[in-house]
Amino acid sequence: MSLDFPNPIRRYDTARDCVCFWGSDSALEIAFEVELAALRSIDPSAGTDEGSTLRAYDGHLATIRKAAGAAYSRKRQSYHRLTASDF
């Protein structure tokens, strides 16, 4: 089994201070959150508004998915919150 990202939907969550996205491992859905502080560590142009945050997320999608895959391979859980240390 391997982690895949067939669903391109991502969501800016102001209450949790993150961008949420989902992956799948076969029939299992895996929820991910990347903290805004972590996103700003890889792209300082990520602002505090939804537009600039999602543009930064989209611009670094490969890096974020790689970090998500590494986190999932360390611990096969249905939820992961990515922090700056994951990058």
Please check whether residue 4 is in contact with residue 23, taking contact to mean a CB–CB distance below 8 angstroms: yes
Give the CATH number of the domain where residue 24 resides: 3.30.160.140
DSSP 31-74: EEEEEHHHHHHH-TT--SSHHHHHHHHHHTHHHHHHHHHHHHHH
pLDDT tens sequence for the chain (87 residues):
589 999 899 999 999 999 999 999 988 999 999 999 999 999 988 878 899 999 999 999 999 999 999 999 999 999 999 999 999
Against a cut of 0.85, is the pTM above it? yes
Q: Count of domains in the chain?
A: 1
Q: Which domain holds residue 61?
A: 3-86
Is residue 11 within 8 A of residue 20, CB to CB? The reply is yes
Residues 69 and 21: beta-carbon distance below 8 Å: no
Taking the CB of residue 52, how many other CB atoms lie within 10 A of it? 14
